[in-house]
Amino acid sequence: MRYGLVGSSGRMGHEIKEVFSAHELVLEVDESGIFRRGEPNVFVDFSNRSVLATTLQLCSQYGAGLVIGTTALAEEDMKAIKELSNHVPVVQSYNFSTGINILKILLRESASLFEGMDVEIIETHHNKKKDVPSGTAIILKEALGREVPVHSLRIGGVPGDHTIFFANEGEVLQISHHAISRRVFAIGALRAAEFCVSAKNGFYSFEEVLRWTQKR
Ligand SMILES: NC(=O)c1ccc[n+]([C@@H]2O[C@H](COP(=O)([O-])OP(=O)(O)OC[C@H]3O[C@@H](n4cnc5c(N)ncnc54)[C@H](O)[C@@H]3O)[C@@H](O)[C@H]2O)c1
Ligand SMILES: O=C(O)C1=N[C@H](C(=O)O)CCC1
């Protein structure tokens, strides 16, 4: 697979290059500019919403699919990404770990059981993370289908921890996810890129990629 990497000099960019080592990196984008060595058939974007227009233009120019993990996207950004998905396959997720996506499914399917309980989220990330709350906390709230207080810690080099607390008068249920390293997100992005190169045009979640992976 020939891939382009937007955010190539970043924390995730470095992880992606390691996990994608069996594939050919032919185009890189970071704050220093665009560096082309070939024609990608898929782009991976872990950067910042400020470079999204460039990402979308490059995908259109090369007719290449897109795997985008960048968080803190605005509504108009998602609209533009969905427009691109009419022309190429797009996988978008605020969290490319298997565990968080399983948790999303469990929360969505059991949300009614938590009615009447207090629910709050604590998310902890490294002290260089620019956005708050995490994109993962946002998607967990969406899975629960209700507004939930989120408490954010930005400390040390934590790759990404999320705990959901459910409480009533007599008990507390805690469900936690701990990312051991950023490697988990890069592995998920690789699965998504492999999905993209053979998928029909369209907008896909990482859950759909996981189900596709299971069927292989
Ligand atoms: N979806 C997931 O699973 C997942 C996992 C980890 C991180 N993320 C998200 O990925 C993004 C990047 O995280 P990170 O820790 O790698 O960040 P980082 O700050 O280490 O890297 C950002 C990269 O984007 C580039 N960049 C930023 N602004 C740019 C611009 N205007 N023009 C060109 N290049 C630009 C930087 O040069 C750098 O290469 C964040 O939004 C983060 O929340 C998502
Ligand atoms: O390191 C980050 O930044 C992460 N961002 C995503 C989020 O905002 O949820 C995923 C976890 C790591």
Q: pLDDT of 159-213, one tens digit each?
A: 999 999 999 999 999 999 999 999 999 999 999 999 999 999 999 999 999 999 8
- Give pLDDT, residue 197: 94
Amino acid letter, 64: A
CATH number of the domain where residue 105 is located:
3.30.360.10
Handedness of CA 28, 7, 179, 167 (dihedral sign): negative
CATH number of the domain where residue 49 is located:
3.40.50.720
Q: pLDDT of 64-99, one tens digit each?
A: 999 999 999 999 999 999 999 999 999 999 999 999
The verdict on 60 and 80 lying in the same domain is yes
The two three-digit tokens of residue 151, written as one number: 């408490």
> In the predicted model, is pLDDT for residue 215 greater than 90?
no
Using an 8 Å Cβ cutoff, are 14 and 30 in contact? no
- Which structural domain range is residue 85 located in? 2-92+183-214
Task: For residues 10 and 32, give the distance between their C-alpha atoms in angstroms, rounded to a whole number.
Answer: 12
Question: Which secondary-structure segment (H or E) carries 125?
Answer: strand 118-125
Which residues lie below 8 Å from residue 56, measured CB to CB, with a gap of 6+?
Answer: 66, 80, 81, 84
Return the residue whose CA atom lies nearest to atom 4 of ligand 2: 160
Is 151 catalytic? The answer is no
The verdict on 88 and 190 lying in the same domain is yes
Question: Does the annotation list 213 as a binding residue?
Answer: no
User: Which of 97, 98, 122, 134 is the best mutation target for the ligand 2 pocket, counting ligand atoms within 8 Å of the beta carbon and taking the most?
Assistant: 134
Q: pLDDT of 2-60, one tens digit each?
A: 999 999 999 999 999 999 999 999 999 999 999 999 999 999 999 999 999 999 999 99
The two three-digit tokens of residue 123, written as one number: 């998310």
The verdict on 53 and 88 lying in the same domain is yes
Is 17 catalytic? The answer is no
Number of Cβ within a 10 Å radius of residue 46: 24
Region 123-148: what's the mean pLDDT? Answer: 98
Terminus-to-terminus CA distance in the chain, angstroms? 18
Task: For residues 141 and 86, give the distance between their C-alpha atoms in angstroms, rounded to a whole number.
Answer: 28
The verdict on 173 and 191 lying in the same domain is no
The verdict on 144 and 208 lying in the same domain is no
The label of the residue with tokens 């059981």 reads 113
The verdict on 115 and 171 lying in the same domain is yes
When divided into structural domains, the chain yields a total of 2
Query: CA-based angle 126:130:131, to the nearest 5?
Result: 100
The verdict on 176 and 196 lying in the same domain is no
Interface predicted TM-score (ipTM): 0.99
- Give pLDDT, residue 216: 79
The verdict on 87 and 187 lying in the same domain is yes
The verdict on 166 and 202 lying in the same domain is no
- Give pLDDT, residue 107: 97
Cβ burial of 15 (10 Å; 0-12, 13-18, 19+) is: buried
Q: pLDDT of 92-102, one tens digit each?
A: 999 999 999 99
The response to whether residue 17 sits with its C-beta less than 6 Å from ligand 2 reads no
